[in-house]
Amino acid sequence: MNLFKTVPTVSVAEAAAAVTAKDATFIDVRTPEEYAEGHAAGAVNVPLEKIGSAVEHLKQFSKVYVICRTGTRSAVAVSKLLSARVNAFNVSGGTMEWLQHGLPMD
Q: Just list the catalytic residues.
A: 68
Q: Is the separation of the CB atoms in 4 and 75 below 8 Å?
A: yes
Q: Which amino acid is it at 17?
A: A
Amino acid symbol at 40: A
Burial class of residue 17 in the structure, from the number of CB atoms within 10 Å of its CB (0-12 exposed, 13-18 middle, 19+ buried)? exposed
Count the neighbouring beta carbons within 10 Å of the beta carbon of residue 53. 9
